[in-house]
Amino acid sequence: MNSLSNDVITLLNQKQKAAFEVIFNLYYPRLVCFAQEYVSFEVARNLVQDAFLSFWEKNPHVISESQLQSYLYTTVKNSCISRLRHEKIKKKFVEESERKIQKHLYISALENLDTSTIAFQEIETIIERTLAELPPRCREVFILSRFEGKKNHEVAGELNISQKAVEAQITKALKIFRVALKDFLPIVAYLLYIR
């Protein structure tokens, strides 16, 4: 480990650039390594550069290398803490904004959702028409699964087909129903729920 001579510390106190360059070259990589444990590499580099700039501008009187180390590491530590707190607040703000937007979308969707008798009659008509348009095997599987509440393995056993075939037919039917009922999805979610 390199250590500073008393001459360097004396010159540093006299604000000599050569002495500053010596401490910068010695401590910059160490401080970046330290800061990088808590923040990204780019942020670490910026925080360490700011710490050296602050040191140069404030020009504190240094009596030993350990005091200099303490000053630099404390400055970088505090900068990391500030940065992390700022990021935490920023993240909380973004999450809160996203929650508010989501809440507005839910309110808007619910306000526009037609739950009148006419809407339910329309849903029934669409379901009946879509069901009638499904291929026969697909319709049979879908009725047993969704309307009679049978599990996939029960449907497979009853129709003497594989469970994979049952899953494929249900997936096919669900895609067709999602398109047909796109305007009523929140109300008919029970129908489209994949078990």
DSSP string, 121-144: HHHHHHHHHHHHHS-HHHHHHHII
pLDDT score at 1: 45
CATH number at residue 182: 1.10.10.10
Decide which of 90, 108, 133 is a domain's last residue.
Answer: 90
Contacts of the segment 69-74: beta carbons below 8 A, 24+ positions apart: 69/27, 72/27, 72/31, 73/31, 73/34
The structure tokens listed for 78 are 């505090």
List the chain pLDDT tens, one digit each, 195 residues.
446 677 888 888 888 888 888 888 888 999 999 999 899 999 999 999 999 998 888 888 887 888 888 888 999 999 999 998 888 888 888 888 888 888 777 676 666 666 666 667 888 888 889 989 999 999 999 999 888 888 999 999 999 999 999 999 999 998 888 888 877 766 666 555 544
pLDDT score at 195: 42
Residues 83 and 132 in one domain: no
In a domain, 99, yes or no: no
pLDDT tens digit string along 113-148?
666 666 678 888 888 899 899 999 999 999 998 888
The structure tokens listed for 35 are 């800061």
Nearest to 31 by CA among 2, 74, 71, 73: 73
In a domain, 106, yes or no: no
Nearest to 155 by CA among 168, 145, 169: 145
H-helix or E-strand spanning residue 178: helix 163-180
pLDDT score at 68: 86
CA distance 188 to 123: 8
Count of domains observed in the chain: 2
Residues 78 and 144 in one domain: no
What is the domain extent for residue 128?
117-192
Cβ atoms of 119 and 183 within 8 Å: the answer is no
Give the distance, in angstroms, between the CA of residue 48 and the centroid of all CA atoms in the same chain: 28
Decide which of 38, 73, 90 is a domain's last residue.
Answer: 90
Report CA Rg, the chain.
34
Tell me the pTM: 0.49
In a domain, 126, yes or no: yes
Nearest to 35 by CA among 27, 26, 23, 43: 43
CA distance 178 to 110: 19
pLDDT tens digit string along 182-194?
777 666 665 555 4
Position of tokens 């508010």? 100
CATH number at residue 82: 1.10.1740.10
pLDDT score at 117: 64
In a domain, 110, yes or no: no
pLDDT score at 189: 60
